[in-house]
Amino acid sequence: MSPVVTRFAPSPTGFLHIGGARTALFNWLYARNQGGTFLLRIEDTDRERSTREATEAILESMKWLGLSWDGEPIFQSQRFEIYNRYIDQLLEKGQAYYCSCSPEQVEAMREKARAEGRKPKYDGNCREKTVTPGPGVVVRLKAPLHGKTLYQDVVKGPVAVDNAELDDLILRRSDGSPTYNLAVVVDDHEMAVTHVIRGDDHVANTPRQVLLYQAFGWDLPAFGHVPMILGPDKQKLSKRHGALSVMEYEKMGYLPEAMVNYLARLGWSHGDQEIFSRQELTQAFSPENLGRSAAVFDTQKLDWLNAHYIKEASPATLAGLLAPRLADLGFPDLDPKVLEAIVPLYQTRSKTLAEMAQACTFFLIPAAALEYDQEAMAKFLTPEARAHLQALRQGLAGLADFKATALEGLLNTYLEKAGIKFKIIAQPLRVAVTGKTASPGLHETLEVLGQEESLARLDRALAL
């Protein structure tokens, strides 16, 4: 049995989106599971729509997801001579022919077939004619007219298509460029691809590609067509459902580990397990466990997974990921140790890194620049509360150990002496040092702010 070789073959006409990323992941997982090879092919034969920027964006997305490919990427735009050489082989064998029918003539054939209740397709007008190369001439495959084209789909099971439903597809356009189906088959053969896992929007192409394999006398790869991803309303996934480019999710603060875990479970199952490390996914993945029904994209589930991975990550790792986000918010060149102290306060509270970055900015603002919620000030900094804060300030100033445990002890002692409950001072103190009513634990917040900054904020709040 030959070693497993899979491939991902995006067209660089736009960014890499969720559906394409899932396809890449499934191929990557199977290759790694089998100790095989995962190849990357850029299908840039559409010269007008393919861009270098889109290619770079696709590569960036795959690197972010950790989907490393083997060898150098292959670009179809650099292989036209190879494709045409194979087309010439089919012409020599009599399995392809020149066709001079214009697009208008072909459309008239299809229209006539529709009117007669037949399959709209090219009617083989030039099939037995002697047409020579020239302007407006294409090359077509001489496909079988009878019988069925059969293949075994790893996901859908056995597939049979009547050859009468297929037409003689164009292999070479009138401008000399190869068509998609021809290029794909030649590339997959030359790259020794053994398994083609792709979206079921390619199902209609597969019988045509099977005919090409047969015409060349090549062995078929194993095909597996994965159902599309739907939105929560069971409609085709769109931007309103979350059909964004992969790197948009990075900008929104999702971790690649969460994205990979989530994409793997969109249409693949392994018992009831939901959370997988990359190693677990690699060990467990098999195309046989790919589902036959469409998967539903659920942002809430992605948020849940991302929150899990944030919780499990090391503070140092998250601090490194937070730094550029906070720089974008106006806090460049932050001390990594400061961020590492802040991160644990939010690891159990944040669904995304963007949410964490926004929430923790109050730690990084000097007392003089801290903005106070005026409604919270009016509600909680009452004359009674201010008297307590002034007394607490003295205790905080004299505290030699400004750690959370010592701060908790100081506050508890004060509550006991004053004969009041914690809620009497909790919100006033929180508003005074953070400017708002919501923050991580008060003792931990004070510790991270430090004694000098905490006192400065108390003084400013009391002055206000």
Provide the 3-class DSSP secondary structure of residue 276: coil
Rounded to an integer, what distance in angstroms lies between the CA atom of residue 263 and that of residue 139?
A: 40
A 10 A CB-CB count for 314 gives 12
Rounded to an integer, what distance in angstroms lies between the CA atom of residue 448 and that of residue 402?
A: 9
Residue partners of 329: CB distance under 8 A and separation at least 6: 357, 358, 361
Residue partners of 85: CB distance under 8 A and separation at least 6: none
Rounded to an integer, what distance in angstroms lies between the CA atom of residue 72 and that of residue 87?
A: 25
Rounded to an integer, what distance in angstroms lies between the CA atom of residue 159 and that of residue 149?
A: 8
Rounded to an integer, what distance in angstroms lies between the CA atom of residue 159 and that of residue 166?
A: 14
Residue 138 near residue 174, CB atoms below 8 Å: yes
* pLDDT score recorded for residue 1: 64
Q: What are the catalytic residues?
A: 239
Provide the 3-class DSSP secondary structure of residue 302: helix
Residue 289 near residue 269, CB atoms below 8 Å: yes
Helix axes 180-190, 205-216, angle to 10 degrees: 60
Residue 160 near residue 115, CB atoms below 8 Å: no
| 176 φψ region: left (φ > 0), alpha (ψ -120 to 50), beta (else) | left
Provide the 3-class DSSP secondary structure of residue 34: coil
* pLDDT score recorded for residue 244: 77
Rounded to an integer, what distance in angstroms lies between the CA atom of residue 452 and that of residue 450?
A: 6
Rounded to an integer, what distance in angstroms lies between the CA atom of residue 197 and that of residue 24?
A: 9
* pLDDT score recorded for residue 243: 61
Instruction: Tell me the pLDDT of the chain (464 aa) as tens digits.
Output: 679 999 999 999 989 999 999 999 999 999 999 999 999 999 998 888 899 999 999 999 999 999 999 999 999 999 999 999 999 999 999 999 999 999 999 999 999 999 998 889 999 999 999 999 999 999 999 999 999 999 999 999 999 999 999 999 999 999 999 999 999 999 999 999 999 999 999 999 999 999 999 999 999 999 999 998 988 887 877 666 556 799 999 999 999 999 999 999 999 999 889 999 999 999 999 999 999 999 999 999 999 999 999 999 999 999 999 999 999 999 999 999 999 999 999 999 999 999 999 999 999 999 999 999 999 999 999 999 999 999 999 999 999 999 999 999 999 999 999 999 999 999 999 999 999 999 999 999 999 999 999 999 999 999 98
In 116-255, where does DSSP find H-type helix? 180-190, 205-216, 246-251
A 10 A CB-CB count for 81 gives 7
* pLDDT score recorded for residue 455: 97
Residue 216 near residue 182, CB atoms below 8 Å: no
Residue 67 near residue 57, CB atoms below 8 Å: no
* pLDDT score recorded for residue 240: 64
DSSP 231-245: -TTSSBP-TTTT--B
